[in-house]
């Protein structure tokens, strides 16, 4: 049986996935599982997203901020536009 080479996910895809998961509030562990990240990756992304103001944590629940919702909308618009090109 031949193995397929593993492809790395693009950083923007991981960020989008995390922001969408946290839309309605989610615990850190659930974000990790749903986004398929290791704990160290999760920590790096959560720190970066929180520092950028895209996500906040309150009582162990992570939520996408208004700024994060704008990021989701902008990325989805870019995806729609690139699909029109293809």
Q: Answer whether residue 46 is part of any domain.
A: yes
Q: How many domains does the chain have?
A: 1
**CATH number of the domain bearing residue 47:** 1.10.10.10
| Angle 76-77-79 from CA coordinates, rounded to 5° | 65
pLDDT tens-digit readout, 31-70: 999 999 999 999 999 999 999 999 999 999 999 999 999 9
pLDDT tens-digit readout, 5-25: 777 889 999 999 999 999 999
Please tell me the distance from the alpha carbon of residue 86 to that of residue 76, in angstroms, as a whole number: 16
pTM for the model:
0.86
Residue in the structure block whose two tokens are 């996408």: 64
Q: Answer whether residue 48 is part of any domain.
A: yes
Q: Answer whether residue 5 is part of any domain.
A: no
Residue-range definition of the domain harbouring residue 44: 11-85
């Amino acid at each position: 049986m031949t193995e397929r080479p593993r492809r790395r996910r693009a950083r923007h895809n991981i960020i989008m996935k995390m922001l969408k998961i946290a839309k309605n509030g989610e615990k850190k562990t659930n974000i990790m599982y749903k986004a398929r990240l290791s704990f160290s990756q999760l920590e790096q992304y959560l720190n970066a997203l929180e520092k950028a103001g895209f996500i906040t944590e309150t009582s162990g629940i992570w939520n996408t901020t208004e700024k994060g919702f704008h990021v989701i909308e902008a990325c989805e618009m870019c995806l729609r536009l690139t699909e029109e090109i293809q």
